[in-house]
Structure 1
């Protein structure tokens, strides 16, 4: 490696962090960030809700998430040293809402991390059923903590290979579907054909309510799509990497989500698709892979580990930002507002890990585990509030003196911004339509109103 390249690679940001991520890391993280574990396990359930029109739900939701990413991308392009989009809420919407968004986002990520580490333990127990869940959770947390603490480049390399496993699994499913269609493959359900998708087609086979409920399920499959924006500040050339990573989001949605769903529905008539079994497992079993269940369990294990790895990366940086923006004696004593020699917010990461580690003990206590499930569900609704604040921040940025006319501009922002905000509100309302999400919707509403008022009062002067 030349001295010039080495200098570029280790170039520091204003806040002392190191640009250690390469373009290939971010591009794979961007691809994997649009693919949730739910695709592997819950595709049958989402197809069952509303049939082939689920593709329209995925495309519509994906489009609005893309609009949001264009807004985040424009602001990060203007100031590529920012390692979190929350800073823009503070700057353009106000300190009160910035404080609300910073703490809410960090807490939501913490609960997401708790849910992910619990899922990791479940997937490991597929092979080792006698291993205690709490022990698996602690070991995985310690391993991924090391990945995040050593250097950002180690995180990038780990995430690169986690992402590769997910991508290969989906491409294998799509290739299998194409092969079956071209060879007129016969299954126990009949011939594999695109006719299985449109035969006896009904746009709303289970009514409008199920169709509307599908939006919130799909919306949360895209959750954490904004993570690619968080990583770009630690890349070597953020203004080159960021536009490419965001521009390709629509094509990734079409290939990975639409391609996978079309393949599944071509192989199985969608009305016969069981909701309690992974369609990926069923497809690979059909082509003679007897260990298909173990294979997909490995894929979802790496997918959950990848999500947890990304969560640790993100929680550490957000808590570091909170500690710097709201200095106090406790943060000074904990030293969470400082970086390690490798340019990593190690103390902030370790504190976040310690909080997430509580999940190892919470889930074994009766009663508390139910409360934990409610809080986790509530954090999903809070996420929507943060996304809405981000769109408002972008609108205010466009009207500010900071506006960079030759930057990576979001097209037609004057009408796309309010439409995107309206869509987010619609998804939030849809949380009240389903019994499994209504308690979480109420919980998140209480948090948004209560903590929102507190944050405004705290900074009213």
Structure 2
């Protein structure tokens, strides 16, 4: 191994503008789960789901601030994973580099599968594998042409999600103010608080809601990487990260509050999208198609970000290893893009198209993607540990983008992420993937433990 990082050579071109990062930052905090899974999460926790989102949002903000502070101190870096190697040790860095890259690739495969299903809503006769290949070719092209094109694409993907949520919130407020009646009762802000109970479906379901909501936030750390791709990362990064709490309050809590204003929370079905239900109420007959379009762009946005993030991490990984097979992935295009890293990442994600035509492998694939998602919690914990060590190092920038009360909030965030991981073992649906991710931790952790304690010179 070597201490050399991705900035040892020409770094990827910084082609993103401030408006790109700000919209990507907003879109990055809004997952597909809000549109499709809000009914299920409300079913689990009732109005207390607002508290669950608030708590998780707070700790994700702490984690993002630690990434922001380290990137601010060294804006040459294009991936936060580098800091794990630097401040948590080479062995932890080895585990994080490979685990994060593979986890993000599996996330991309899952999003590509989702994209195919959403497109088949309109074109049911088109094979899923063909849709996946076409979409992957298009988004790979976006990532190979210029960073600015990636930014522009994400800008409009994010805009679609934002407009959909704004439309829901405005519609709900107008309904409440005009005394609109639904088949299940009046639209009223009081619907949220009527028969309020912190654990309406039991304490166990309230706890299970944490793991459901947690994975709606997975991928938020991509924001740090996009900010690092701007001409002025030290100016853009604090703005993008500091606005996260307001976005969570407005887009997540605002949308959920309005949904429960329109429908009494006790009567919201778990298996339907509340967004579809609301837009159908106001006479939009094609509401299902509209929300399908929104979640399609959301999944495509996630896939686009996966290609961007995973390729940067693989490019960095090539510089942090002396393995001969990784050296070609140091190559940069004439437009200063990690071309080989993008192509290889895309090729790995394309395996999803092969899996989709082999029914026997589908269940195994679902298991692997679920297990890999759990690994994000481990990566977040390693980021926080690296941050604690960063504050003790000579690199610590005392007048930088500082975390507030780090000695209190960072250890609390570590405990919280560990708590969420432990809860996975108490839910029958998440238990087996949690066991799988634990096996990964043990097996790959033992491989990482055999690496040099310090990076080789």
Q: Give TM-score, length-normalised by structure 1.
A: 0.96
Deviations 1:235-282 (A, max 9, x none): 011001000001111100000000000110000011111111110001
Distance (Å, rounded) in 1 between the aligned partners of 2:178 and 2:211? 37
Could you list the runs of 5+ residues in structure 1 that have no partner in the other structure? 1-11
Query: Residues 106 and 349 of structure 2 are in contact (CA less than 8 Å); yes or no, is this contact kept in structure 1?
Result: yes
Change (3 A) 1:205 1:17: same
Match of 1:157 in 2: 152
Q: Aligned-pair distance for 1:13?
A: 9.4
1:38 equivalent to 2:54? Answer no
> Which residue of 134, 139, 147 maps to 2:134?
139
Q: Is the 8 A contact 2:39 2:272 kept in 1?
A: yes
Tell me, yes or no, if structure 1 residue 204 matches structure 2 residue 168: no
Task: Determine which of 414, 418, 436 is the counterpart of 2:429.
Answer: 436
2:359 is paired with a residue whose SS is coil
User: Which secondary structure does the structure 2 equivalent of 1:74 belong to?
Assistant: helix
* Per-residue deviation, residues 199-250 of structure 1 (Å, max 9, x unmatched): 1111111111100000011110011111110111210110010000011111
Q: Using the TM superposition, give the Cα deviation of residue 336 of structure 1 relative to its aligned residue in structure 2, in angstroms.
A: 1.2
Mapping 1:330-345, distance limit 5 Å: 330-332=325-327, 335-345=328-338
> 1:136 and 1:174 mapped to 2: Cα distance?
33
Q: Displacement, 1:381?
A: 1.5
Contact 1:320–1:336 (Cα < 8 Å) also in 2 = yes
Which of 388, 392, 396 in structure 1 is aligned with 2:385?
392
| Distance in structure 1 (CA, Å) of the matches to 2:114 and 2:149 | 24
Q: 1:78-110 CA deviation, whole Å, 9 max, x = no partner? A: 001111100000001111110110000000001
Q: Partner residue of 1:378?
A: 371
Provide the rounded CA distance (Å) in 1 between the counterparts of 2:404 and 2:321: 35
CA-to-partner distance for each residue in 1:136-180, whole Å, 9 max, x for gaps? Answer: 000000000000000100000000000000000001000000000
Aligned pair 1:65/2:60, yes or no? Answer: yes
Once the two structures are TM-superposed, the CA of residue 459 in structure 1 deviates from its matched residue by 1.8
Q: Distance in 2 between matches of 1:59 and 1:13?
A: 40
Specify the alignment match of 1:7 in structure 2: none
- Secondary structure of 2:271's aligned partner: coil
Q: Distance in 1 between matches of 2:319 and 2:240?
A: 29
1:75 and 2:60 equivalent? no
Contact 1:13 1:19 in 2 (8 A): no
Distance 2:425 2:273 in 1: 27
Alpha-carbon RMSD across the aligned residues, in angstroms, is 1.1
2:413 to 420, 427, 433: 420
- CA offsets 1:298-321 (integer angstroms, 9 cap, x no match): 000000000000000011111111
Indicate whether 1:307 and 2:324 are aligned: no
For each residue in 1:347-378, what CA deviation from the matched residue of structure 2 results, as whole angstroms up to 9, or x when unmatched? 10100111110111112213311111111111
Aligned length: 448
Per-residue CA deviations over 1:17-64 (Å, capped at 9, x if unaligned) read 211000000000110111000000000000000100000000000000
Instruction: Please state if 1:406 is matched with 2:395.
Output: no
CA distance in 1, matches of 2:89, 2:324: 24
Indicate the SS of the match to 1:221: coil
Are 1:51 and 2:46 counterparts?
yes
Q: Is the 8 A contact 1:21 1:235 kept in 2?
A: yes
Which whole-Å CA distance do the structure 2 matches of 1:37 and 1:30 have between them? 15
Structure with the greater relative contact order (CA < 8 A, sep ≥ 6): 1 or 2?
A: 2
Counterpart CA distance in 2 for 1:158 and 1:13 is 29
1:228 aligns with 2:194: no
Runs of 4 or more above 4 Å deviation: none
* Separation of aligned partners in 2, 1:15 and 1:277: 49
Kept in 2, the 8 Å contact 1:58–1:218? The answer is yes
Matched residues in 1 for 2:362 and 2:94: separation? Answer: 29
The yes-or-no answer on 1:260 pairing with 2:260 is: no
Does the aligned pair in 2 maintain the 1:13–1:81 contact within 8 Å?
no
Unpaired runs of 5+ residues, structure 2, are 1-6
Give 1:430 deviation, angstroms: 1.0
Partner of 1:459: 452
**Given that residues 89 and 453 in structure 2 are in contact (C-alpha distance below 8 angstroms), is that contact kept between their aligned partners in structure 1?**
no
* Structure-1 residue corresponding to 2:97: 102
